[in-house]
Amino acid sequence: MSLHGKRKEIYKYEAPWTVYAMNWTVRPDKRFRLALGSFVEEYNNKVQIVGLEEESSEFLCRNTFDHPYPTTKIMWIPDTKGMYPDLLATSGDYLRIWRVSDTETRLECLLNNNKNSDFCAPLTSFDWNEVDPNMLGTSSIDTTCTIWGLETGQVLGRVNLVSGHVKTQLIAHDKEVYDISFSRAGGGRDMFASVGADGSVRMFDLRHLEHSTIIYEDPQHHPLLRLCWNKQDPNYLATMAMDSMEVVILDVRVPCTPVARLSNHRACVNGIAWAPHSSCHICTAADDHQALIWDIQQMPRAIEDPILAYTAEGEINNVQWASTQPDWIGICYNNCLEILRV
């Protein structure tokens, strides 16, 4: 992965509101398409689908739709072959699955597992299983994680043919759960991990839900906000604590002791993204306006400095590495999306 000597390419899109959630599509026919969620502190929020016109090098908004509350996460269906309908999921008060067409986006289903009460505990995050796109997992402030099964039918007229059911719900942590992510280990279907306000990283196996494994606990019991599995080597994952300036790299084979700490940021870290094509590259982004790319090949020797740094014009609150185009990274700050060629 040569990061030097390439001509620097940056494309920028300015949204009409502060951008928080963001995700790249993986469909091969929609290369530079991303979904962006607004962060407006009121009920009425928006999601935009934007695409880069490769001839004019300009981002265009393809369509905008309403979303209740800000989206805590947005994710396109992990369908690299284009076999499933073109679906987008968002989390907020509920998990929603949307069907995207060239002209409009419409709600296919709303997944709510609090059938017996009017109160819904907000969803902090979710993950869409890459091996089985009929499975998603959500994390909630009510201490639970829920694994959902999706049924996606063929398109027959205007009928909503996407529906979902709860496969399992479990109390995952002692306090709020802030993130969930499926692991590629063991076939990629059954293992997932979560992080939360109790400061622990816990790993679960859907085949043996009676126990979980605590992989790591923050020494000061600070809440852990994000969790990100290495895309090439399922032994490694990264996490970060609330208001922390460092990212901790863990090896599941050596629980409880970080194998590396990435600590060059000068303000709190907000986002982590592993390279899709390399087991030893990771990007971190923070309130210091910086997106840093690290080479962690030397672990367990200390990783002193990043190999690449980019300074944005604002505090970066999200970073996503495009899985089907590994030389592109997306970042969000203020009301801007930028995609950077690395």
Q: State mean pLDDT over 118-139.
A: 92
CB 25 within 8 A of CB 33: yes
Q: State mean pLDDT over 42-58.
A: 92
For residue 338, tell me if it sits in a domain.
no
Into how many domains does the chain fold? Answer: 1
Structural domain span for residue 141 = 10-261
Work out the mean pLDDT of the chain and round it to a whole number: 92
Give the CATH number, domain containing residue 182: 2.130.10.10
For residue 86, tell me if it sits in a domain.
yes
Question: Given this model, what pLDDT does residue 159 score?
Answer: 56
CB atoms within 10 A of CB 120: 14
Q: What is the DSSP letter of 50?
A: E
Please tell me the pTM assigned to this model. 0.93
Q: State mean pLDDT over 57-65.
A: 93
List, in sequence order, every residue forming a beta bridge with 209; answer none if it has no partner. none
Which pair of structure tokens corresponds to residue 6?
A: 């390439």
For residue 153, tell me if it sits in a domain.
yes
Question: Given this model, what pLDDT does residue 5 score?
Answer: 43
Question: Given this model, what pLDDT does residue 119 score?
Answer: 67
Tens-digit pLDDT profile for residues 201-232: 999 999 998 889 999 999 999 999 999 999 99
For residue 315, tell me if it sits in a domain.
no
CB 111 within 8 A of CB 96: yes
At 187 the three-state DSSP class reads helix
Sheet holding 95-100, edge to edge: 73-76, 87-91, 95-100, 105-111
Q: State mean pLDDT over 17-22.
A: 97
**Closest Cα partner for 95 from 129, 76, 118, 71?**
71
For residue 130, tell me if it sits in a domain.
yes
For residue 300, tell me if it sits in a domain.
no
End-to-end CA distance of the chain: 9
